Amino acid sequence: MRKYQTLLYYCYSHIDHAEQFAADHLQFCKSLGLVGRIIVADEGLNGTVSGTPEACQAYMDAVHADPRFAKTDFKIDEVNELSFIKMHCRYKPEIVHSGLRDPKIIDPTKETGKHLEPREFMEMKDRDDVVVLDVRSNYEHNVGRFKNALTLDIENFREFPEKINELSAYKDKKILTYCTGGIKCEKASALLLKNGFKDVYQLHGGIIKYGKEAGGKDFEGKCYVFDNRVTVDVNHVNPTEVSACRTCGTNSSRMINCANPECNEHFAQCEACGWKMEGCCSDTCMAHPRKRPYDGTGYYVKVPQPVNLEKISRREVKRLTANPTLHN
């Protein structure tokens, strides 16, 4: 029996005073002994947290007890080690960065693609009138994706709206969107509908839920996750490896960041080439004067930067001004 659990979840639901909610929610998570990363926005919650089964259950119970988040779908992984080092809960403009903040353009609480449960998705995905669309970034689908899925050349989800025109040839098809846990599909499918696509679906619970409930059939490679595990196995039926080491070309799903901080590219590199290249993606980066020491992980702790007061939101400044005690 594994010692810890990791929860992946999101919920689109309006949160009043979301910045204060984020601060209070952080303290609540810490009181339970959880570690993880949660994004809070006016539009809802997006998080991955890790802790003991008891702490995770207490957290899920508390979230479900709040009417705003009562329908939150938690994906639960049993893990041997905590998936994070610290607990972060931050306020941001969106719970997934798309650049589509105006609810008059798209609002996932009102209109999205039709939700397909994993086994429904599995039954539909190979039909002739269907296109399976991966809405994730390059580094994610390069390490794992559904067989025959259409992938987009994007470095970040915020580039997705720019790719809509490239998909126009598929407007007469059923579009089945998917992502890691489902959150990106909420906005991607809504935007497709807004742009004239008539028959749009999304994999409910994403790749993670598909692996748990449908055995991960026909998902090739591994699923990229945003915690210390980096990638996880999904396919327990017909697994394959699709990711290749950047340096030597052998199959490898081991993801690292380039040791040159001015590059910092996220890419696949086998362990042997990692040591050979000192964690770099190229000879140029190996020779860079700022190259970071490579310890075999390809993971580098961010160096804290000075606070830029100009970037503090006007709302936060107003809140602090109105409540002087919050400074203490």
- d(Cα 199, Cα 114) in Å, to the nearest integer? 8
- d(Cα 216, Cα 213) in Å, to the nearest integer? 8
Q: Name the E strands within 147-191.
A: 174-178
Any catalytic annotation for residue 179? yes
Q: Measuring CA to CA, which residue among 164, 204, 224 is closest to residue 188?
A: 164
Beta strand 231-232 with 223-224: parallel, antiparallel or unpaired?
Answer: antiparallel
Query: What is the residue whose two structure tokens read 């994007």?
Result: 154
Q: Which two tokens stand for residue 208?
A: 């993670």
Query: What is the residue whose two structure tokens read 């089945």?
Result: 176
CA-based R_g, the chain, Å? 21
Please check whether residue 46 is in contact with residue 184, taking contact to mean a CB–CB distance below 8 angstroms.
no
Q: Which two tokens stand for residue 41?
A: 């926005």
**Sequence-distant (≥ 6) Cβ neighbours of residue 151 within 8 angstroms:** 134, 138, 141, 145
Please check whether residue 248 is in contact with residue 270, taking contact to mean a CB–CB distance below 8 angstroms.
yes
Query: What is the residue whose two structure tokens read 């598909």?
Result: 210
- Residue in 11, 29, 179, 245 annotated catalytic: 179
The catalytic residues are 179
